[in-house]
Amino acid sequence: MILRNRLKQSPDGDFIDCVHISNQPAFDHPFLKNHTIQMRPAYHPEGLYDESKVASQQQTQIIPQLWHQNGKCPENTIPIRRTKKEDVLRASSVRRYGKKRHRSSQLTLFALSPMDQHAIAYVEGDKYYGAKATINVWQPKIEQANEFSLSQLWILGGSFGQDLNSIEAGWQVSPDLYGDNNTRLFTYWTSDAYQATGCYNLLCSGFIQINNQIAMGASIFPISNYGGSQYDINILVWKDPKEGNWWLQFGNNYVLGYWPSFLFSYLADSASMIEWGGEVVNSEPDGGHTTTQMGSGHFPEEGFGKASYFRNIQVVDSSNNLKPPKGVGSFTEQSNCYDVQNGNNGDWGTYFYYGGPGKNPNCP
């Protein structure tokens, strides 16, 4: 059995390895040694699971990832972005590679520390079994290599203390993690507030991928232009009511895989909070502010084609149905740096514009 098939370098500089599905990093986890891979969810939020939604059996809409130009991964393999030595050397330690920085300061409702800046919409106060969003895709500028800018949804359980459970998916620009400024599809998970558990993408055991067409951490293409063409991606995360695993879907056709429920404590049952929006890291010393952009780098009031958006945001209820969120709140630490504006209409459902330039005359 061939466990690894190496494709040529893709135009964005990545190397993609086609790894046999049973040889992926997830199975380094001690609880997954004898795990039987679930090749499809039992249920989908739109009803009984439809086999045609599994991308490996879907020949229609192709979402381009640049590595496809050099070939595809065969059946029973998954594409994994190859980790290079220089990727690991950029991390503070080998052990911390692929992990969000944990900070000793007490977690607040939204932020790990003052270094984290958000512009988000959120719901809380109910039991949630998933979330969906259509996310406008941009390539925000990053000031320093140890900063990042991301746009994602968060599935959260537990308190914002040391036991926070989180499942996250969206797009990010992170020079520290990837070695470039490309906009990339990503996931993250943790069951202990970003301390010891979890990681980005497939950089540790946990997430089990079943899809052979979409690579975690690969570049998203094309991206939106200010005043020009606009592009967005669909992200759906939901809890399969039969098996209890948390599934990830990208676009309308690509069911990528799942996080086994045993990885979590609170999320083994349900989520208590959903967040959608942007986050940046501000590493400027002495209270100064970074020029790292969030979203398009422009404020929400500029509107479509100029400001970044999330549209058709939804939650999955206890009956496994997608529903508009009720009682949506918004939050930003410094609205003069990054802001958020909620809205609702017939075409976009519940939506919001968000983002900003970071440092500016009103955000010194």
Residue closest to 119 by CA, chosen among 353, 338, 298: 338
Contact 354, 308 (CB under 8 A): yes
**Token pair for residue 62?**
């192709």
In a domain, 3, yes or no: no
pLDDT band at 109; cut points 50, 70, 90: low
Percent of the chain clearing pLDDT 70 (strictly above): 90
Whole-Å CA distances, 300 to 4, 92, 224: 45, 35, 15
pLDDT tens-digit readout, 331-348: 999 999 999 999 999 999
Across 137-270, the runs of DSSP E, i.e. the strands, are 149-157, 165-173, 184-190, 208-209, 232-239, 246-250, 254-259
In a domain, 302, yes or no: yes
Q: Which residues contact 272 (CB under 8 A, 6 or more apart)?
A: 124, 125, 126, 127, 128, 156, 157, 158, 266
Which of the residue ranges 14-18, 110-114, 192-196, 339-343 would you say has the lowest mean pLDDT?
110-114
Residue closest to 239 by CA, chosen among 38, 19, 78: 38
How many domains, in total, are found in the chain?
1
In a domain, 101, yes or no: no
pLDDT tens-digit readout, 130-183: 999 999 999 999 999 999 999 999 999 998 778 999 999 999 999 999 999 999
Angle 180-181-187 from CA coordinates, rounded to 5°: 90
**Token pair for residue 256?**
């990528």
Kind of pairing between the strands at 130-136 and 308-316 = antiparallel
What domain range is 168 assigned to? 11-46+63-96+114-356
pLDDT band at 9; cut points 50, 70, 90: confident
Handedness of CA 224, 131, 54, 349 (dihedral sign): negative
Helices (H), the chain: 85-90, 175-178
pLDDT tens-digit readout, 245-278: 999 999 988 999 999 999 999 999 999 999 999 9
In a domain, 92, yes or no: yes
- Between 327 and 85, whose confidence is greater? 327
pLDDT tens-digit readout, 24-67: 999 998 889 889 999 999 999 975 565 554 444 343 345 578 89
Asked if 279 is an active-site residue, the reply is yes
CA distance 129 to 38: 19
Model-level pTM? 0.93
In a domain, 55, yes or no: no
User: Active site residue: 75, 168, 243, 333, which one?
Assistant: 168
Kind of pairing between the strands at 322-323 and 308-316 = antiparallel
Question: For residue 50, what pLDDT is reported?
Answer: 58
Highest mean pLDDT among 100-104, 230-234, 250-254: 230-234
CA distance 102 to 192: 10
User: Active site residue: 143, 147, 275, 279, which one?
Assistant: 279
In a domain, 108, yes or no: no
- Between 70 and 350, whose confidence is greater? 350
Q: Which residues contact 356 (CB under 8 A, 6 or more apart)?
A: 119, 293, 294, 295, 297, 298, 299, 337, 338, 339, 363
In a domain, 38, yes or no: yes
**Token pair for residue 332?**
């930003």
Question: For residue 105, what pLDDT is reported?
Answer: 38
Q: Which DSSP state fits 93?
A: S
For the residues of 104-151, what is the DSSP string, one character each? SSPP-SS-SSTTEEEEEEEEEEEEE-EEEEEEE------SSTT--EEE
In a domain, 214, yes or no: yes
